[in-house]
Amino acid sequence: MPDEKPTLSHDLVAYNESLLNDAAWVSRYPKHAAMVRQTLDDAKKLSGYQSPPKDQRTPEQRTWDERHGVHDFAPEAYTLPTATETFNPASIVAAFSASSVDPLLGNAILRELAEEPVTNPAATRARIEATGRNWDDVVKDASYVLGKTAGRLRPEQLSARSLVMLAVHGDMMRRHLVGRPTAKK
């Protein structure tokens, strides 16, 4: 592990930068501010830190999303299982991030895909239908996330539990987006 590069979280950097951008705090604690600035600069250099992309949402959209519990999750928030010849989690993580899938759910699905691949898609369909759900509706709702994977993640690869959770998330996101303010041109 000594060869691994240290990492910085975006939240840690944002917090320290908010301190350094607070003129009152800097003037009240100049020595501490100098130490924070130097430490942060050194840590960024050592870790090769890259700032996250700028949030493209309008203030109204950010407020709408916050009020409805929709959050942006960076791809780094997900734990990538080891890629294989038939399973590359990186593209799936990008889709989860773009779809605001909570990392707890995303990581559980990724772990399941890597460790317990579905071998009987018909059994998955039967299990979903046994719960009283319509297979086509579940797939349609899950397509909010699955559609962002460019075909790399298909319904038949998922367990009933994962597919239903993505369907619930997709349905919630579709309803959320209906009333969301549009970007101004």
Give me the DSSP letters along 79-137: -PPPP-SS--HHHHHHHHHHTT--HHHHHHHHHHHHHS--S-HHHHHHHHHHTT--HHH
Model pLDDT, residue 88: 82
35 and 80 belong to one structural domain: no
In a domain, 5, yes or no: no
Residues 67 and 42 in one domain: no
Answer yes or no: do 166 and 81 share one domain.
Answer: yes
Per-residue pLDDT tens, the chain, 185 aa: give them: 456 777 788 788 889 999 999 999 999 999 999 999 999 999 999 888 888 777 778 889 889 988 888 888 888 889 988 888 777 888 899 889 888 999 999 999 999 998 888 889 999 999 999 999 999 999 999 998 888 887 888 898 999 999 999 999 999 988 888 888 887 65
Between the CA of residue 60 and those of 12, 53, 55, 73, 126, what are the distances in Å? 25, 19, 12, 19, 43
Whole-angstrom distance, CA of residue 154 vs CA of residue 77: 22
Say whether both 111 and 148 belong to one domain. yes
Quick: pLDDT tens for 46-96. Answer: 888 888 777 778 889 889 988 888 888 888 889 988 888 777 888 899 889
CA 181 – CA 81 distance, rounded (Å): 36
Residues 70 and 159 both lie in one domain: yes
Domain that holds residue 26: 10-47
What's the pTM?
A: 0.69
DSSP 8-state code for residue 142: H
